[in-house]
C-alpha cells in the first residue's frame, strides 16, 4: 500500500493511474477503523481498479473541542488493517496540509442541515461538506463510499454532488453491527464494559420501533415508551425521529410508498452515539 501525507504526491500517483485509464474508489474516514469501515473499503477494492482510503480527523466538523481532542487515533493499527484488506492507497494528511488557510466558505443545505444532527451539532455539516469537497477535488474518484450509519451525512453529500456537479457515483453501505446489535463506531472504544452493554439497547429500541410502526401505530404514540428503556438506564436521548428517507422530513406513520427511518442520537457515559434503521 502506498501511503501519502501530502496532496501533491498523492495527486501524482493518481494522475498516473488515470493516464492508465484506471477507475478510482474513495473511502473517506476519520480512522480508528473497524469492521464497518472495512466493509466500505472492501466494496471500493472490489468495484475499482485503485482504492483510496483517507484518514483525517476533520476539525471543522467538530462543534465540541473536547470531542475532537478525545477522538481515537490509531493510525498504526489502521494501516495494518488497510494492508490486510488490500487497499492500494492511504491518504493521511496533517491538518495543516488540508487547511493551509482557515476556510471561510459557508454551505447552506437548508432543511437537511437543520434537523437531527444539524440541530444538535451546529456547523457540523458545513465541515463535512468542506472536507468531502476537498477530498473529491484531490482524489477525483469515479466512486465514493459512505455508510448508512451517517444517513443524514449521506443525504448532505448527495446534495453536494448534485449541486456542484461532481461526476462521482455515491455508494451507501448498510450499517455493520456488533453481535449484540450495537452499530460499530470508532467511539465505542470509549465506553466502559457497562456502557457498552447499555448501548446495545439502542438497536433493540430501533427494532421494536419498526415492529410497532409496521403494526400501524403512530410514532407520536409509541415514542415515549420506546425511549423509556434508554432513559431508565441513564442514557440521554438527544433526538429520536421518524423521517422519510428522501428529504428527511418528519413523519408520524410509515407508508407503503416510501422508505422510512428511525434516526436516533444517544449519549452514553458522555459518548455520543448515532444509529438508524430504514424500513
Q: Catalytic site residues?
A: 37
Per-residue string for binding with ligand AMP, 119-158, x by CB under 6 A?
Answer: ---------------------------xx-xx--------
Per-residue string for binding with ligand AMP, 228-257, x by CB under 6 A?
Answer: ------------------------------
DSSP track, 97-110: HH-SS--------T
Shortest Å, Cβ 272 to ligand AMP: 12
Contact criterion met (CB below 8 Å) for 170 and 154: yes
Q: Binders of ligand AMP among 66-125, rule CB under 6 A? A: none
DSSP track, 157-196: HHHHHHHTT---EEEEEPPPB-TTSPBP-GGGGGS-HHHH
Q: Binders of ligand AMP among 161-200, rule CB under 6 A? A: 173, 175-176, 183-186
Q: Taking the alpha carbons of 28, 32, 35, 41 in that order, is the dihedral positive or negative?
A: positive
Distances (CA, A) of 71 to 157, 189, 264, 271, 272: 22, 10, 20, 10, 11
Q: Which is nearer to ligand AMP, 24 or 182 (CB)?
A: 182
263 binds ligand AMP (CB under 6 A): no
In angstroms, rounded to a whole number, what is the distance separating the alpha carbons of residues 268 and 192?
10
Contact criterion met (CB below 8 Å) for 227 and 240: yes
The distance between the two most distant Cα atoms of the chain, rounded to a whole number of Å, is 59
Shortest Å, Cβ 275 to ligand AMP: 9
Q: Binders of ligand AMP among 2-61, rule CB under 6 A? A: 29-30, 36-37, 39-40
Q: How many residues does the chain have?
A: 279
Shortest Å, Cβ 37 to ligand AMP: 5
Q: Which is nearer to ligand AMP, 125 or 219 (CB)?
A: 125
Shortest Å, Cβ 131 to ligand AMP: 10
Q: Number of H helices and number of E strands within the chain? A: 11, 9
Q: What is the side-by-side order of every strand in the sheet holding 271-278?
A: 236-244, 260-268, 271-278
How deeply is 65 buried, as exposed, middle or buried, from its count of CB atoms within 10 A (0-12, 13-18, 19+)? exposed
Q: Which is nearer to ligand AMP, 87 or 254 (CB)?
A: 87
Q: Which is nearer to ligand AMP, 39 or 260 (CB)?
A: 39
Binding footprint of ligand AMP, residue count (CB under 6 A): 17
Shortest Å, Cβ 30 to ligand AMP: 4
How deeply is 102 buried, as exposed, middle or buried, from its count of CB atoms within 10 A (0-12, 13-18, 19+)? exposed
Q: Which is nearer to ligand AMP, 37 or 198 (CB)?
A: 37
Q: Which is nearer to ligand AMP, 183 or 240 (CB)?
A: 183
Shortest Å, Cβ 258 to ligand AMP: 22
Contacting positions for ligand AMP (CB under 6 A): 29-30, 36-37, 39-40, 146-147, 149-150, 173, 175-176, 183-186
Amino acid at each position: 500500500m502506498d501511503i501519502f501525507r501530502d496532496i501533491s504526491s498523492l495527486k501524482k500517483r493518481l494522475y498516473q493511474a488515470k493516464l492508465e485509464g484506471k477507475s478510482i474508489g474513495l473511502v473517506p474516514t476519520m480512522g480508528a477503523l473497524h469492521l464497518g469501515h472495512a466493509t466500505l473499503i472492501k466494496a471500493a477494492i472490489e468495484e475499482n481498479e485503485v482504492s483510496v482510503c483517507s484518514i483525517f480527523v476533520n476539525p471543522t466538523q467538530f462543534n465540541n473541542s473536547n470531542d475532537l481532542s478525545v477522538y481515537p487515533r490509531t493510525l498504526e493499527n489502521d494501516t495494518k488493517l488497510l494492508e490486510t484488506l488490500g487497499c492500494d492507497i492511504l491518504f493521511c494528511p496533517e491538518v495543516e496540509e488540508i487547511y493551509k488557510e482557515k476556510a471561510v466558505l459557508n454551505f447552506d443545505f437548508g432543511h437537511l442541515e437543520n434537523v437531527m444532527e444539524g440541530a444538535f451539532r451546529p456547523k457540523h455539516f458545513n465541515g463535512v461538506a468542506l472536507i468531502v469537497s476537498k477530498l473529491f477535488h484531490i482524489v477525483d474518484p469515479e466512486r465514493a463510499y459512505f455508510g448508512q450509519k451517517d444517513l443524514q451525512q449521506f443525504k448532505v453529500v448527495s446534495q453536494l454532488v448534485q449541486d456542484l456537479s461532481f461526476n462521482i457515483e455515491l455508494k451507501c453501505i448498510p450499517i455493520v453491527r456488533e453481535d449484540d446489535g450495537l452499530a460499530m463506531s470508532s467511539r465505542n472504544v470509549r465506553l466502559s464494559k457497562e456502557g457498552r452493554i447499555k448501548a446495545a439497547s439502542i438497536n433493540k429500541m430501533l427494532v421494536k420501533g419498526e415492529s410497532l410502526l409496521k403494526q400501524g401505530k403512530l410514532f407520536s404514540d409509541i415514542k415515549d415508551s420506546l425511549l423509556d428503556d434508554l432513559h431508565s438506564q441513564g442514557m440521554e436521548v438527544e433526538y429520536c425521529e421518524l423521517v422519510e428517507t428522501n428529504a428527511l422530513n418528519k413523519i408520524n406513520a410509515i407508508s407503503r410508498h416510501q422508505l422510512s427511518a428511525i434516526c436516533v442520537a444517544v449519549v452514553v457515559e458522555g459518548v455520543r452515539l448515532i444509529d438508524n434503521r430504514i424500513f
